[in-house]
Structure formats: structure tokens, C-alpha cells
Amino acid sequence: MSDARAITELAKRRGFFFGSNEAYGGVAGFYTFGPEGAALKRNVEAAWRDRFTVREGNDEIEAPTIMPEPVFEASGHLDGFDDMLVECGECGESHRADHLVEDASDVEEAESLPIPEVEELVAEYEIACPSCGAALAGRSIEEFNLMFATTIGPGSGQQGYLRPETAQGIFVEFPRLKEYARNKLPFGVTQIGRAYRNEISPRKGIVRTREFTQAELEQFVDPDDDDPPLDRVADVSLRLYPADQQEDPDGEYVEATVAEAVEEGIVASEWVAYYLGVAREWYDRIGVDGDRFRFRQHLPGERAHYAADCWDAESEVSGVASADPTAGDWIEIAGFAYRGDYDLSKHAAHGDDDFTVFEQYDEPRTVERAVADPDMSVLGPEFGGRAGDVADALRALAERDPSAFEGETVTVEVDGEAVTVDTDVANFRIEERTEAGEHVTPHVVEPSFGVDRTVYTLIAHGYGHDLIDGEERTYLSLSPEVAPTDVAVFPLVSDAALEEVADDIVADLRAAGLSVAHDDSGNIGRRYRRQDEVGTPLSVTVDHESVEETPTTVTVRDRDTTAQVRVPVDELAAELEGVLESGGSFETLLAGYDRVETDVTRS
């Protein structure tokens, strides 16, 4: 069992993560990943890249973290990327109001509530300022935009922002990326990188920070023709927490396979359901505890306006595994959204490029098209410099709503003003055209993963205590794929002959591609404890028998069980690789080699 305090203490002591810039007092919301944490994070990213880029056949890009203001005007982040801020009237500290409500009440998703209702809850629960204890009832709650602003270039420069998500870097480059995909849908683009949000009240270590890493996939699909390969994950079991169950006081989890979730309409989008299945398998693979994991559907007030359906992957990080969905401490670690054509349509409207894909028909088709060919000899004298805009508006209206031209006059909007012209001036008609294809604005399916929160989850789920020969031990049961170090090598005691063999083994294992720690400091039991606490799966000990007998052998120790076997050095690299690879197990060594009964684990 673990809690936030225990995780933070272990993380700082063993070099997983710690507050940045502490020599200068530190700044909330910024963390440095130490040697163990950076390696764990890097391995999580590699595992994600393997599953969501390589195995899905997607392409990966790396876009800048600073983007100009027009990008975020188009995306809607300037107007709608806000959190609820309440400022204490006594000490002046700012807090996130929805979090205060969640901490003081049974309300689980206060973020989805309107501000007036949150203000009422602050008063109802007599919520006080966490910093000074002053009452916050009656204090107004304001919307606070989370983006970090900057300038690009000298002086006042061009207004820009640090990206609040990696997705926009993919969307704005779509006109070029579609060419690399040979204009064939569906195709996916991934990106792993830093994002920035000026959080009101960062908290819980690396769970809510102001700088963090995202791993995102933007899957571009034709909504009419492209279906996901559901059969690949049809039988994957999901623990679902739908919106209707969240709103029911007696609500409970729904256990269903991916196929059942789609057939029963629990998950509306087949694409979202597909990625829920892929993600469930991936989380299992890297060591997330399935009993402390769920997919929670966004409530109506919580869901982004452009998203047809949204689900979050959530992990429980306090050590509580319960059938009660309201029990425990749940954090969002990934989001799965069907975003429709919102993003590409917005950038098409604001940008100067083509955000569609031309899909060629199998055979040319003869179709009827409504067209307007305005008489500029009439529009020019009447509207002057606005004539071109009026003509463009008439053409667009003809495509969108041919029935608007059925009367004697037709009205369009130009720069917010209604303009009326005679229908015969618009030269409206229906004509037949032979077309080879059509321009399609792709829809977007987005699985978005928080890498830092995944790291936190793996530490929380791997954190354990047990008794070994009467002595309490703390350890991290991390999957070999993500563990910071594969193998630790120890000479049993400080001895030149033992150290020489240990040095050779370290070199050989590193040459085989394994991550190896070489530790000769302190007694052997203490060295085992250090490696157990950072999650190293295997330890190799060079003892006197290693140098006295032929062939040279060493003991290999399993982190989780502390079982040991004796393995010839010539076979060591291959055997360790077999245990560490996906599907490998220490049981294969126990079955193939002599077990060693020794008390060195507690020396």
C-alpha cells in the first residue's frame, strides 16, 4: 500500500523526482526527474512509442513547443482554456475552486459544474483558504486562462504561447503530413513532448504540474468509410464507469469486453472503443494494476463541446482496491476523445492552407451541384470594394443551402452585416458535373497519455512492503520493460579478484544491451535493499565460489521473491535477457539451475 507522502519520500530519496530549483526556494509545479526517474520515464515513452507508433503503423513528428498566437485563436484555447480561480481575501493566495470543493465534499467532478454552482458549494461546505484558514464563502470565482504567454523575437515581438498540449503541433502541420501519408485515409501521427499549463494550484508531486510530458496520437479518419480493426481487441475486458452510473447514487462499474461495449452502446465510437482496448493491453504490459484501473466517461458538463464522446483512463494511487467506484484516490492518466472535424475545420477557416484530403472515386461520377455565378457588373457599382466578398458569400450559400435562392431576393452575411441582392443577379443554377473524387475533412480520434502521471502510477502500483527473514523491506515491483535498471552486479565483498570478475560481467551485460548498475558500496544486504527500492528486477552477485571453481558461476537473485540460483557466467547474458523480455519469468531460471539457499540478503 502507498500514499502520496510515501511516494514523494521514496522518489526524492532514491532519485525518481524532486522539486526543481530548491537552491533558490523552488517554484511550485516544476519537477526534475532524477537518474532513476528519467530512466523510468524514458522507458515508458519507448514502450508507448512501440505500441502506438510502431505497431499501429503510424508516423511520429516533433513540433516546436512555442507557437504563434493565431494557432490558439483558431484552436479556441485563447477563449476556452480556463480553470476556476478563487483568491483569498486575507492572504491573497489563489486556489483552484473546483479542487477545494472536491476535497471538502462528495462531489467528484466539480470541474464540470457551472461557476455559480461551485460558488454555492464553497459557501455550503464553509470552505476555507488552505493557506491561512480564512473563509472563502462570498469570494467570486473567476476563469483563469492556463496558457503561458511569451513573445517571439526582440522587443515586443510577435505574441506567442507555450503549447498547452502537443496536439496542435500535429493539426497545424496536417497539410504537409497528409502528403507524407500519400493522401490516403486513415492515417495516424504521434508526438511525445513537453506541454505547459500555468496551473492555479499544482499538487500531488508530478500528478499536477506546470510542465509535463504528453504522448498523443491523432488518428485521421474518413467518418463515412473508415472503421477500426475492432477484431484485434474485441475480447479485451474493460472496467467502465459510464456517465449514467456516475450520476446514480448507487452507481457501479460495468465490466464488458470491447465488443460488448460497442454492441450495447456503452461506448459510442468504435474508434474510441478500439483504443480503449489497445490502451488496456498496454497498461497491463507496463505493469499498471488492473484492480486499480478504470475507464471513466466524461459527464455532459465536463465534455468538450467538440467531442462526441470522451473517456478517461484513471488509476487509483492511494493503495485502495475496491468495487466501490467512489472509494480511493483516482487520477486521470489518459484521455480518449472523438473530436470530429472540429480541429481541422477551425484551422482551415483561420489558416491559409488546405486541411482536406482529396479522395478519388473508383469511377468518375456525374453529380448535380448548386452554383452561383454572381453578375459582377451589378455587384461592383452597388457594393464597391465589398463586391468580391458579397460574391464569395453567395457562392458559399449556394453550396450550403440551395433553397435560399428560391425567392426573388437572397440575403447573405458579409462582415456581420446582412446584404440582400436580387436572385437573378446571383445567377443561381443547378448543373451537372463529372467529378473524379471529393475533398473530405477528416475526423480526428485522439488518445492522449500523460507520461508523468503514468510514471507516478507505476511507482504507486509497484510500491510494496514485505518481511524477508523477519526484516521489513520496501521494494518497487516494476515491469522489466520500464524498470530504470535491468540488472545490478555486486562483488560480495571488497576483493580484487571478485571485483575483476564483476567488472567483466558488467562490460559483457552492457555490450548485450542491458542497463546495468555496478554497486560495491556497503554490505551486500544493504545493496540488495537499494536495488529493490528502485525496482531493479535482477541482481548478480560475484562470490568466492565464482573465482574458486570452474566454470565460473554467479548467483542471480529475483527482486520480488528474493529467490536465488547459480548460473554459469558464459550463459548469464542470454539467460538474463530471457527473463527480462516480454513474457519472461524467473521461474525459467529456477527450473533450469540449482537454487541457492543463502542468508546474504540480510547480511
Signed CA dihedral, 385, 386, 392, 394: sign only: negative
List, for residues 360-409, the tens digit of each pLDDT value: 887 888 888 899 999 999 999 999 989 999 999 999 999 889 999 999 99
Amino acid (one-letter) located at 186 = P
CATH number, domain of 541, equals: 3.40.50.800
Answer yes or no: do 339 and 370 share one domain: no
Residue type (1 letter), 583:
G
> Is the same domain home to 496 and 544?
yes
Using 50 as the pLDDT threshold, list the residues of the chain that sit under it: 1, 601-603
Are residue 556 and residue 598 in the same domain, yes or no?
Answer: yes
Task: Report pLDDT for 602.
Answer: 42
| b (16+ CB within 10 A) / e for 511-528 | eeebbbbbbbeeebbebb
208 and 323 together in one domain: yes
Cell of 259: 465488443
Residue 124, domain member (yes or no) = no
Please name which of 377, 372, 319, 355 lies closest in space to residue 7, comparing C-alpha atoms.
319
- Kindly state whether residue 35 falls inside one of the protein's structural domains: yes
pLDDT of residue 398: 93
In a domain, 103, yes or no: no
Question: What backbone phi and psi angles, to 5 degrees, belong to 156?
Answer: -70, -30
Residues near 262 by Cβ (< 8 Å), separated by ≥ 6? 230, 270, 273
pLDDT value of residue 601: 45
CATH number at residue 180: 3.30.930.10
Any idea which residue has 498540449 for its cell? 165
Task: Tell me, yes or no, whether 319 and 368 share the same domain.
Answer: no
Nearest CA to 382 out of 352, 414, 350, 404 is that of: 414
Give the pLDDT confidence score for residue 598 in this predicted structure. 67
The pLDDT tens digits of the residues spanning 211-237 come to 999 999 999 999 999 999 999 999 999
| 150 & 32 share domain | yes
Q: Do 277 and 220 share a structural domain? A: yes
Supply the pLDDT for residue 603: 40
C-alpha cell read off for 128: 476555507
CA distance 571 to 235: 39
| pLDDT score of 305 | 65
Q: Do 198 and 170 fall within a single domain?
A: yes
525 and 397 housed in the same domain: no
pLDDT of res. 374: 95
Q: Which domain holds residue 397?
A: 363-438
How far apart are alpha carbons 26 and 19 in whole angstroms?
7
60 lies in some domain = yes
In a domain, residue 464? The reply is no
Residue 96, beta-bridge partner list: 85
If you write DSSP's letter for every residue of 157-189 in order, what string do you get?
-EEEEE-SSSHHHHHTTHHHHHHHTTT-SSEEE
**Same domain, residue pair 433 and 400:** yes
User: Contact, 462 vs 559, CB < 8 A?
Assistant: no
- Are 273 and 415 members of one domain? no
Cα(493)–Cα(58) distance, integer angstroms: 50
Q: Report the DSSP pairing between strands 409-414 and 443-450.
A: unpaired
Q: Assess whether 195 and 280 both reside in one domain.
A: yes
Number of domains in the chain: 3
Q: How far apart are CA 475 and CA 460, in angstroms?
A: 11
Please tell me the predicted confidence (pLDDT) of residue 309. 85
Decide if 476 contacts 532 (C-beta within 8 A). yes
